[in-house]
Amino acid sequence: MELKVNGKIIKGVGGLYSIRLNAGDADKLRCELPLEGDILLCKGRGVFRHEKLTLLAGDNVTVRVDTELMLAGDRDARASHAKRDTEEADAGVLIDEVLPRKNELIRPPMANLDLLFVVFAAAKPQPILQTIDKLITIAEYKKLSPVIIITKADLAPDAAEEYAALYRKCGFDVFIEGEGMDGSALENFIRQNADKVSAFAGASGVGKSTLMNRLFPSLGLTTGEISAKTARGKHTTRHIELYPLDRQFGEGASGYIADTPGFSMLDFVQYDFYTKDDLPYVFREFEPYIGRCRYTKCTHTKEEGCALLEAVKNGEIPKERHESYLAFYEVLKNKHDWDRK
Ligand SMILES: Nc1nc2c(ncn2[C@@H]2O[C@H](COP(=O)(O)OP(=O)(O)O)[C@@H](O)[C@H]2O)c(=O)[nH]1
Ligand SMILES: [Mg+2]
Ligand SMILES: [Zn+2]
C-alpha cells in the first residue's frame, strides 16, 4: 500500500533528511507500520536535483511511503535509534513534494521561518556591527521579525548594555544573556512564541548552542547532539537542526527552534539579497524620515536637506546604523545585474 503523509524537514545532512511527521499523519502511519517515534529518514525524489531545488530545514513536505517496502526494510535498523541517525534512509520512503515556502534564507539555509534571533557576543568575538546589521536587514527584507540577543554579557557588561541601547533605540526587542545570568525573559519570549519557527543565527563562537542548551535543557537531553564535541574539544554545530518546542513546553507548542552553525564573514558578503532601492526600508528606524528629504531622489548619503542625515546628527538615529547603511550602499550602488536570493 502507498500512503502520503506530511511533515517538516528538521535536519538534512548529505542529502538525507529527517522528517518529523505531523501528529495525525504519524498516527495514520502507525496503523500500518510498527513505527517508533515520528521521524522518518529519507531522500528527495531525483527530479528535485534536476530542477535544482534544494530542500531546506524548515520545508514542509509530502512523503510517499510504500508500506510493504518499509516493512520489508531492516527492522533492526529501525529499532535502534543510534543506527537510525546514521546515513541510511528508511526503505520505501521518499520525499514527494515540497509545499510552497513562506520564505527562505540562504545564510543560514532554512525555509518557513517566523522569527530570526540575531545573536552576537558583547565580546569574544568582538561584534562587527556591519555583519549584524546585514543579517538584520536581510531578515527585515524577508519579513521575518529579527530579535536581538547579546551573549557573553558576563565578559563585558557595559558593552552589552551599550549595544542593547543602540538596538532598542531602533525599535528591536533585545535580550542580554551571559554565563550565570537569568535567562527567563528570553525563555518567556520563546514560550509566548511557541507556535512559531525560529532560529538562532549569528557568527560562530558567539554562544548560540550554549544559550540553547541553557534555556532548553530538555531539547539537549532528548537529542544529545546540540553541541557535538569535536576532537579539538570545542563545541561545534555542524548542521542546522530544528528542535520541536513541545519537548520543552508540552503538547500545545507546535513550533520549532533551530540552532545553526553560524557563518563566517566571507560566506556572508557574497550574497546580495536586496537592491539599493530597498535599502532605506530595511532599516526600521529610518521609516519616519523617508519622504521628508529636500530631494525626492535623495540617497541619504551626503545630500543637503536630507532628513535622515539630520536625524543622525541629532542622535535620533544611531550613527553606527547609518554607517552600516553607507557601507551597504557603497556595495549596492555599482551592482546592476541582480541575482536576488
Ligand atoms: N563567558 C562566556 N562564555 C560563553 C558564553 N556563551 C558561550 N560561551 C563560550 O563561547 C564558546 C562558543 O560557544 P558556542 O555555544 O559553541 O557558540 P556557537 O558557535 O554560537 O554555537 C564556548 O567556548 C562557550 O563556552 C557566555 O555567555 N559567557
Ligand atoms: Mg553552535
Ligand atoms: Zn535623505
Residues of the chain with CATH 2.40.50.140: 2-100
pTM, rounded to two decimals: 0.87
Q: Residues 53-56: contacts with CB within 8 Å, 24+ apart?
A: 53/98, 54/109, 55/9, 55/12, 55/17, 55/95, 55/98, 56/9, 56/12, 56/101, 56/104, 56/109, 56/110, 56/111
Residue 188 CA to ligand 1 centre (angstroms): 21
Q: Which ligand is nearest to the CA of 260?
A: 2
Q: Which ligand is nearest to the CA of 238?
A: 2
Q: Peptide bond preceding 244: is omega within 30 degrees of 0, i.e. cis?
A: no
pLDDT at residue 323 in the model: 98
Q: Which residues line ligand 1 (CB under 6 A)?
A: 151-152, 154-155, 178-179, 204-210, 227, 235, 237, 262
**272-333, superfamily in CATH?**
Probable gtpase engc; domain 3 (1.10.40.50)
Which numbered atom of ligand 1 lies nearest the CA of 124? Answer: 10
Which numbered atom of ligand 1 lies nearest the CA of 202? Answer: 20
pLDDT at residue 78 in the model: 54
CATH architecture observed for domain 2-100: Beta Barrel (2.40)
Q: How far apart are CA 218 and CA 226, in angstroms?
A: 11
Residue 168 CA to ligand 2 centre (angstroms): 26
Provide CB contacts within 8 A for 54, sequence distance 6+. 48, 109
pLDDT at residue 263 in the model: 64
Q: How far apart are CA 4 and CA 115, in angstroms?
A: 29
Q: How many helices (H) and strands (E) does the chain have?
A: 14, 15
Residue 285 CA to ligand 1 centre (angstroms): 30
CATH architecture observed for domain 105-267: 3-Layer(aba) Sandwich (3.40)
Provide the sign of the torsion angle of the four alpha carbons 52, 57, 62, 63, taken in this order: positive
pLDDT at residue 259 in the model: 86
Residue 254 CA to ligand 2 centre (angstroms): 23
List, run by run, the mean pLDDT of 10-residue segments along the chain (341 residues). 95 92 90 85 88 92 91 62 60 93 85 94 95 92 92 98 98 96 94 94 89 81 38 57 89 90 58 83 97 97 97 97 95 68 44
Give the CA distances from residue 180 to residues 14, 91, 172, 190, 205, in Å, rounded to whole numbers and listed in that order: 37, 47, 24, 19, 18
Alpha helices by DSSP H, listed for the chain, are: 23-30, 46-50, 67-72, 75-79, 81-84, 129-141, 157-169, 184-192, 208-215, 217-223, 246-249, 265-269, 307-313, 319-333
Residues of the chain with CATH 3.40.50.300: 105-267
Residues of the chain with CATH 1.10.40.50: 272-333
pLDDT at residue 142 in the model: 85
pLDDT at residue 163 in the model: 98
Q: How far apart are CA 154 and CA 149, in angstroms?
A: 14
